Structure 1
Amino acid sequence: MKRTGNGRWTSPQPLWLIAAIFAWLLVTAWARPLMAPDEGRYASVALSMLHSGDWLVPRLDGLPFFHKPPLFYWIGAAAMAVTGPVEWAARLPSILGAGVAASALFLFLRRWSTVRQALLSTVVLVTTPFFFLGAQFANLDMLVAGCISATVLLAAAAALARERAEPWRALLAGAYLFAAAGLLAKGLIGVVLPVGVLLIWCLVTRRAAVLRLSVWLPGWALLLLVAGPWFVAMQMKYPEFFDYFVITQHFRRFASSGFNNQHGFWFYLPVLAGFTLPWFAWVLVPRRKDGDARPRLSDIDWLMWIWLAVIVVFFSLPRSKLVGYVLPALPPLAYLIAQRVLAGRSMEALLPRLRATTLASAAVCVACVAAITIYEAPPATRLRLPAGQAVAADDQVLMLDSYFYEIPFYWNLRKPVLVLDDWKAAATDTRDNWRKEIVDAGRFEPARAASTLVDRTQLAATLCVPHTTWLVGPSNSQLTNPWLTHAQLVAAHQSVAAWRFAGSATSDPRCLDVETAAPTPSFPQPTPQPATGTNGDD
């Protein structure tokens, strides 16, 4: 934004600003390993989609994974088809969602508010640590937040344009298109939340006539044409799909208390206040006492307040809460913070403080990425095979009593791994964990699950075969699996290790017998390998 000779402020070219937004959001997306479990899970599902060639059914370890729809995986798989399994490509869906949200906010406010409100709101949004980190986290929250934001803003722009006899149909069609994308990104909230925001806004601002836009038939036809085929295809292929995806993953998860991360109703208030510092501190600055009455809320003010309230209240109702759920509330919060900053103040007086706050907030964003890179990297992301060793096409990979979501991504595995566990007990376990995810996925394809999920009674038949098995598990796995004395320790990092088991050329079922085994030389603990090895390393 620059000042002209007549004292007015002009906007930068929108295309340049949007390009700058995406460049900023990409700047550190490559810098840190994937975090467990979410980033490893979603990145590996996307990579599995690419390797399998099945772009319809999302698969976790080869089994149908219907926790969420496929849009995130489609974007991630398409990116990795070009770049290979690298972190920034795995995070590209989130970056796109954040870029869409910030761009839509700027373009909407540039047209329906003021240039400086539009630009400052966008700067606040993209330099807020909560938003920046959400954009660089490979899960579905930021992607659906971008879809929700674009839906709300395009629909509101269509309503305002229709009142002024301006072209509005293209805007409304765009709103329905992003609602379809939100439905494919994370399910019903991609439609329900924007509709809730817009209906309340129309009622509060007395736009009853505009409510007819919510039943615009061409828009609904577009939404069903874009989002409908995938849901229909999954229901036809898997009759249990509707009950699991809609009833369990939407309604039961919303109402039940049996899921992880339970918090009180107040949870998101400190989250929004703390994770948006230093910008949120402007809310605490006293208003200027200039003697004028506080201005009435404009239509845009009402939209932003209602949008913020609907998102926060909706996600505060269920007991299970994750920080990322409330990301769709950040665009309206950025607008309200920017409005508070600008209220009754000249830009000339504000510019030094705005520059300082912007630089401080951007520095916090980068510092958070650096801190996570140093202190929060899960051990499995650092587990690399030594140079010269790789998983061959005929080899199999077996995980011991755990599932390390990051291994298929970092080892660039093209086949599902085998997982050793007590699967009969896991089938009756109702806790929300990795076992339940895999067991639920296996119910859609029991035959494939039977060949992937290995019970201890099947261990000898699985390992005593004439080809190599790579084993991954906790570094102390030998305490519960003494047969590991037959395997060669090839890599270790902190609490995770990898072994190479040669199998049995004669398929001797006694190849795991510890009592009859020849003395096995002890192997020195390997030095952790640098991140420049083979098998999917950068």
Structure 2
Amino acid sequence: MKRLASAWRTVPRPLWLIATLFAWLLATAWLRPLMAPDEGRYGGVALAMLHSGDWLVPRLDGLPFFHKPPLFYWIGAAAMAVTGPVEWAARLPSVLGGGAAATSLFFFLRRWTTVPQALLSTVVLVTTPFFFLGAQFANLDMLVAGCISATVLLAAGAAMAKERGEPWQALLAGAYLFAAAGLLAKGLIGLVLPAMVIAIWCAATRRLATLRLALWLPGWAIVLAVAGPWFIAMQMKYPEFFDYFVITQHFRRFASSGFNNEHGFWFYLPVLAGFTLPWFAWVFVPRGKDGTARPRLSDVDWLMWIWLAVIVVFFSLPRSKLVGYVLPALPPLAYLIAQRVLAGRVLETLLPKVRAMALGAAAVCIACVVAISILSSPPGTRLRLPAGQVVALGDQVLMLDSYYYDIPFYWNLRGPVLVSDDWKAAALDTRDNWRKEISDAGRFEPERAARTLIDHTQLAATLCVPRTTWLVASNTAQLTHPWLFRAQLVAVNDGAAVWRFEGSATSDPHCLDAAPAPTSGTNGDE
């Protein structure tokens, strides 16, 4: 019994704990291909940053992509500079975000609660399928969730340390540093959401005097020094940057409809309940009976409840909702679940059950990754060029009527591809789709966009040249573009295909006019 009790109270060595957390989150990050569009988009932008050598301007197909700031791309590009374009390097920013959230949660709770609460809360967090899969997905949600979590916990720790006459400046400086990282990860929410949580917590726990720490000048100097230069550089280079990045991508997007994934206000309640199983089931288990009265809410309890509520309510207000938006709510939810598990129960008898449940939850996490790997089939991973065929230095790559986000990553392309569509209509489109993303990006550099975005009327001038073009389109594109029968089919899968078109040695402007009868080509289905 003594040995079991000591297992709850033994504090892991910090470096071992951090290494274990990151190893667990990274363990299966290589297992499955990137999923389109999100993972292909963000991994491709990071790879383009590496290939171009321009570490300031994120670029989608060579055009400035200002939907989000550059921190994710900086981390991904730096990782791929060492490893090349591999999946786990593209997902490393998300792994780091998950590791930051879990590590900061453990150290905060170890200091301000108990070792059992800190250990169990961290175990619950990292073995929750929602959190684990978020750390395995190459988009910005987990990275900013990690920044928000660290900011909240460091700021709350600084406030409580200051009250007790303990050193607090380093903690508060860390909070401002992670707030700056949050700004560079996903914009204003990296600063606004932690500020809302801490302000409401201070009011609820009667710490109004502590709010003066929000005006701590060294902290704001850190924010300006870390995040300021990039925003200033972009505004100086592109005068339209502020209106597009701040007004459109933050305020108009938050308040408007017309974006994808519109859901009701209630959406995140079943998401949190379902995607955090099996741990969430403890919410319905009655408290244990060890003879102690139910304690009043502590300062940490108030922090966690307020944190959870602020995140869920904030992201429930806009009509457009994506599952990953609510990832910053998982650390406080893990704490509250762990508290429920421990409530009124004897540690010695509880430990075997918790171990078994943690192993079961970890198995569910791995099973989810394996299932997604088997069921997902993004075009770029299947449309690998057959052996002996490569995109040569002078060749063109043209995507027809669509943009396949993951192909530049898996083909390791070092320059932008040409994209053919009705770009005049796309410029007027208000829907949130790939056309609008690329069309918006083209506004910042119209001359470059004119060379990259090809209208349907320009196809002959683009293809009828003495140059090889690799065409990527739907595998039924020949029905609307019969001239594709002139090209050699080299790869095909369920949704997309690749053709090799040799162009015209004489630059005949009519080389697409008459299509010959279909002939059998080399089918590189892989």
**TM range, smaller chain:** over 0.9
Contact 1:3 1:9 survives alignment (8 Å)? no
> Residues of 2 paired with 1:186 and 1:69: CA distance?
6
Matches within 5 A, 1:441-456: 441-456=441-456
Question: SS of the residue aligned with 1:494?
Answer: coil
Check whether the contact 1:473–1:496 (CA below 8 A) recurs between aligned residues.
yes
1:402 equivalent in structure 2: 402
Give how far 1:3 is off: 4.1
Aligned to 1:434: 434
Letter of the 1:271 counterpart: V
- Separation (CA, whole Å) in 2 of partners of 1:5 and 1:177: 38
**8 A Cα contact 2:460 2:510, kept in partner:** yes
Q: Are 2:298 and 1:301 aligned?
A: no
Query: For residues 373 and 8 of structure 1, what CA distance do their matches in structure 2 show?
Result: 36
Give the equivalent residue in structure 2 for 1:215.
Answer: 215
Shift of residue 190 of structure 1? 0.3
The residue that corresponds to 1:528 in the other structure is 525
Identify the range of structure 1 (372-381 vs 417-426) with the bigger mean alpha-carbon deviation: 372-381
1:42-121 to 2 correspondences below 5 Å: 42-121=42-121
Describe the shift of the 1:351–1:162 C-alpha distance in structure 2 as closer, same or farther (beyond 3 A).
Answer: same
Letter in structure 1 aligned against 2:431: R
Q: Deviations over 1:464-516 (max 9, x none)?
A: 1111100001011111111111110011111111000111122111221215x
In structure 1, the gaps of 5 or more residues are 530-538
In structure 2, C-alpha distance between the alignment counterparts of 1:49 and 1:287, rounded to whole Å: 53
CA contact (8 A) 1:39 1:138 kept: yes
Name 1:286's counterpart in structure 2. Answer: 286
Counterpart contact for 2:148–2:182, Cα < 8 Å: yes
* Amino acid aligned to 1:309: A
Answer whether contact 2:8 2:347 (CA < 8 A) is retained. no
Structure 1 position 352, deviation (Å) = 1.9
* 1:489 and 2:486 matched: no
Per-residue displacement from partner, 1:273-297 (whole Å, max 9, x unpaired)? 0000000001110123556432100
What SS does structure 1 have at the residue aligned with 2:444? coil
Question: Residue by residue, what CA displacement relative to the aligned partner does 1:211-268 show, whole Å, maximum 9, x if unpaired?
Answer: 1111101100110111001001111111110000000000001000111111111100
1:385 match: secondary structure: coil
8 Å contact kept, 2:379–2:404: no
Could you say which residue in structure 2 is the equivalent of 1:274? 274
Provide the C-alpha distance between the structure 1 equivalents of 2:150 and 2:6, rounded to a whole number of angstroms: 34
Aligned counterparts of 2:8 and 2:330: Cα–Cα separation in 1: 28
Listed as ranges, the matches of 1:293-442 within 5 Å are 293-442=293-442
Q: In the aligned structure 1, how far is the partner of 2:290 from the partner of 2:520?
A: 80
Instruction: Indicate the larger mover: 316-325 or 280-289.
Output: 280-289
Aligned mates of 1:174, 1:217 — CA distance in 2: 14
* Partner deviation per Cα, 1:170-213 (whole Å, 9 max, x = no partner): 11000000000000000000000000000111111111221111
- Aligned residue number for residue 129 of structure 2: 129
Please state whether the residue corresponding to 2:490 is helix, strand or coil: strand
Q: Tell me the equivalent position of 1:477.
A: 477
Partner of 2:173: 173
- Contact kept? 1:3, 1:10, Cα under 8 Å: no
1:522 positional shift: 2.2
Give distance in 2, aligned partners of 1:358 and 1:9. Answer: 18
- CA spacing shift, 1:288–1:163, aligned 2, 3 Å: same
Aligned partners of 2:288, 2:77: CA distance in 1, in Å? 52
Instruction: Give the CA deviation at 1:5.
Output: 8.8
SS in structure 2 of the partner of residue 489 of structure 1: strand
Distance 1:482 1:167, change over 3 A: same
- Residue 369 and residue 7 in structure 1: after superposition, are their counterparts in 2 closer, same or farther (change >3 A)? closer
TM-superposed deviation, 1:523: 2.3
Cα offsets for 1:397-423 (capped at 9, x unmatched):
000100000000000001100011111
Aligned to 1:533: none
| Structure 1: distance between partners of 2:10 and 2:443 | 59
Aligned equivalents of 2:244, 2:8: Cα separation in 1: 56
Question: Equivalent residue of 1:309, what SS?
Answer: helix
Measured in 1, the distance between the counterparts of 2:61 and 2:480 equals: 24
Any conservation in 1 of the 2:385–2:524 contact (CA below 8 Å)? no
RMSD of equivalent CA atoms: 1.4
505-514 vs 415-424, which moves further: 505-514
- Cα distance, 1:462 vs. partner? 0.3
2:519 partner letter:
P
The TM-score normalised by the length of structure 1 is 0.96
**Residue type matched to 1:198 in 2?**
I
Cα offsets for 1:17-71 (capped at 9, x unmatched): 1100000001110011111111000000001101111100000000100000000
Shift of residue 377, structure 1, vs aligned partner:
2.5
Alignment-mate amino acid for residue 196 of structure 1: M
Distance 1:189 1:5 in 2: 41
Q: Secondary structure at the match of 1:420?
A: strand
Shift of 1:348: 1.4
Change (3 A) 1:170 1:6: closer
**1:384 match: secondary structure:** coil
Q: Do the aligned residues in 1 keep the contact of 2:290 with 2:345 (CA within 8 Å)? A: no
Q: Secondary structure of the residue that 2:467 maps to in structure 1? A: coil
> Quick check: 1:94–1:142 contact (8 Å CA) kept in 2?
yes
Mapped to 2, the partners of 1:324 and 1:5 lie a distance apart of 37
Q: Could you tell me whether the CA contact under 8 Å between 1:58 and 1:73 is conserved in 2? A: yes
Provide the C-alpha distance between the structure 2 equivalents of 1:520 and 1:335, rounded to a whole number of angstroms.
63
Q: Does the 8 Å contact 1:46/1:76 carry over to 2?
A: yes
Does the 8 Å contact 1:71/1:184 carry over to 2?
A: yes
